[in-house]
Amino acid sequence: MTLHELETPVLVLDRIKMERNIARLCGRLAPFGVTLRPHVKTNKSAEVTSRIGAPGTPVTVSTLKEAGYFLDHGWNDILYAVGIVPSKLPHVEDLMRRGARLTLLLDNVEAARALAVWCRERALSVPVLIEIDTDGHRSGVKPEDPSLLDIAAALGDEEITGARLAGVLTHAGDSYNCRSAEAIEALAEQERAGAVRAAERLRAAGHRAPVVSVGSTPTAHFARSLAGVTEVRAGVFVFFDLVMRGIGVCDTDDIALSVLCTVIGHQREKGWLITDAGWMAMSRDRGTAKQPVDQGYGLVCDIDGKPLSDLVMIDANQEHGIVRHRADPAATPMLPIGTLLRVLPNHACATAAQHGAYAVVAGGTALEAQWTRFGGW
Ligand SMILES: Cc1ncc(COP(=O)(O)O)c(C=O)c1O
């Protein structure tokens, strides 16, 4: 079978590009002697994750459902990298009793106390990382924040509570806003130094904090030093996307994911092609809107994945895409009805989340496999 025979829209994964992207990050991290703990929220697929590391290797997840799915497929060393709340602890317990070696994350005294009580009551031993905010991007406590030590104290004595402080975690998500290699390098160093500093403060206060976990795809690719870091997390590096291309982390040709769609109509006076891939197929993510080159809802390629002279998906309805020449509507080629196109996504995680499977190709249009992915919580 080939892509020509599929009913569109379809999520297409180029396995060759994906494997090249994986090899690139593994090769980059090898000299640093750190563990890669891939964030599997991007791919949500055992088939894809097994190309990064065999079952049993460490993974990071963003939902407990993801943890359950990967546990069922043999990955039991799982970091749940979203702050834990008491209401999710029964789910955590279920996963642990099924054999998951879960590490949890938190950044406040309330969650630490609740976890300590819960572990003690159930005689469960749970490793915990404290989330550190190294760039103001999202959650976490600042490396110098006095509450860092309060959180560690609230976890209590492992011998008594079972909650074990294992170290610190940070995610330099502000790297997505960087505009140069130098800026990403600087942020990578800020991420590293902040996480290491927080771990040192914990150790100086008498806590064990062996794990220093950092990462985002840009900082993982641009870090010059990882001194003091024990593991790196990255997710979107597997597929890459237009946002990563816009900040200079990859080239257009590295993007392994695209949405196959069909030209279903024309609006000649406006220079529009109408396709059957709307925001349901691409997601609403407009991550390149803030970048120097706005790619609309995606960059349009031919069936072989070759970009078509500045055709972009300028707008999206639920099941309709509007494709036009980026600068000059009159320059839009009126491709025949039925033409198959492939649209590169702004944000691979968001676009992939709209689909239940990957149609896998190896460079060309011949279908090599169909890999399922899961969704929901
Ligand atoms: C906690 C955490 N770690 C790692 C990552 C991976 O970052 P990226 O998608 O840039 O590879 C994310 C992504 O959102 C994250 O939230």
Give me the mean pLDDT over the 264-293 stretch. Answer: 97
Each residue's pLDDT tens digit, 216-233: 999 999 999 999 999 999
Alpha carbons 153 and 148: distance in angstroms, whole number? 9
Give pLDDT, residue 228: 98
Assess whether pLDDT exceeds 80 at residue 309. Answer: no
Cα 151 to middle of ligand 1, angstroms: 23
Does 34 map to a domain? yes
In-domain check, residue 69: yes
Q: Is the CB of 288 under 6 A from ligand 1?
A: no
Same structural domain, 207 and 296: no
Residue 128, SS3 per DSSP: strand
What radius of gyration do the chain's Cα atoms show? 22
Please state the atom number of ligand 1 nearest to the C-alpha of residue 237: 11
Domain with 144, as residue range(s), is: 15-240
Is the CB of 39 inside a 6 Å radius of any atom of ligand 1?
yes
Domain boundary (190, 223, 240) is at 240
Q: Which of 46-60, 80-94, 159-173, 196-210 has the lowest mean pLDDT?
A: 159-173
Residues 283 and 265 in one domain: yes
Q: How many domains does the chain have?
A: 2
Q: Residue 157: pLDDT band by 50, 70, 90 thresholds?
A: confident
Supply the CATH number for residue 271's domain: 2.40.37.20
Asked which of 182, 217, 240 is the last residue of a domain, the reply is 240
pLDDT of amino acid 161: 82
Question: Mean per-residue pLDDT for 93-108?
Answer: 97
Residue 233 Cβ inside 6 Å of ligand 1? The answer reads yes
228: left (phi over 0), alpha (psi -120 to 50) or beta: left
Other CB atoms within 10 A of residue 82 CB: 17
234 CA to centre of ligand 1 in angstroms: 6
Name residues whose C-beta falls within 8 Å of residue 200's C-beta, 6 or more positions apart in sequence. none
On whether both 193 and 266 belong to a single domain, the answer is no
Q: Is residue 377 part of a domain?
A: no
Q: Check residue 8 and give its pLDDT.
A: 98
**Looking at residue 158, what is its pLDDT?**
79
Ranges 199-203, 306-310, 332-336: which has the least confidence: 306-310
Please state, in angstroms and rounded to a whole number, the distance separating the CA atoms of residues 351 and 343.
Answer: 11
pLDDT at 160: 82
The mean pLDDT value for 238-258 works out to: 98
Q: How far apart are CA 154 and CA 44, in angstroms?
A: 34
- 209 and 331 both lie in a single domain: no
Report whether residue 171 contacts ligand 1, using a CB cutoff of 6 Å. Answer: yes
Q: Give Cβ neighbours of residue 309 (< 8 Å, ≥ 6 apart).
A: 325, 331, 333
**pLDDT at 27 (0 to 100):** 98
- Return the pLDDT at 49: 98
Nearest CA to ligand 1 atom 2: 171
Residues 129-148: b if buried by 16+ CB within 10 A, e if exposed: bbbbbbbebeebbebebeeb
